[in-house]
Amino acid sequence: MWSEDDFQYAAENTEVILAPAQQIATFGSTSFRFYLISELMDQVNEVRVRDGQIHAERPQLLTPDHYARLLLEGFGEKAQRYVEQLRERTRNFAVLRYGFRFRKTDVTEKTVRDSISAVIQRTKAQVENSGEPLSAIIQGVDDAWEVCLLKFTIDLIERSSGNNLGDLRNRGLL
């Protein structure tokens, strides 16, 4: 069974190497490609690269009560527990929360024999050369990779929310 320290460790050891060039769209859905890179804990110079999509549906402003019902389609038990911890922390906020329903799809993974820094550099060069503005490269913890992916999405929400709230105000929706 995972402890709160395990979740905290995964969240604290999530590093965005390359963030998407664009933010989450205010009035439509947005899909981001992610490359989550992690070292295998019991192997030397073995790195796992997960490649997939995160889909953010049209943003909605939510109260903390509604936020507590955040739906995560396709995520496992560890990710669900991480969201439970987030729910507990936001229970004391007396403001509207900004939330989404997220889906992760098309996840593939491969194991590479090389140093993590070399794998990160190759992946970064691949993304930059292919012109993928909606791609992210994330370094995380292998056994809790879904927690790392959720940490990235929460940070992306926080980064996008100012512009999204401004757009909603400009349209008279707030």
pTM value surpassing 0.85: no
Confidence of residue 63 (pLDDT cuts 50, 70, 90): very low
Look at residue 93 in the predicted model and tell me its pLDDT: 42
Each domain of the chain, given as residue ranges in start order, spans 4-170
Helix%, strand%, coil% for the chain, nearest 5: 40, 30, 30
* Residue 101: DSSP 8-state: -
Report the distance separating Cα 85 and Cα 101, nearest Å.
17
Residues 47-59 have pLDDT tens digits of 999 999 888 777 7
User: Contact, 100 vs 132, CB < 8 A?
Assistant: no
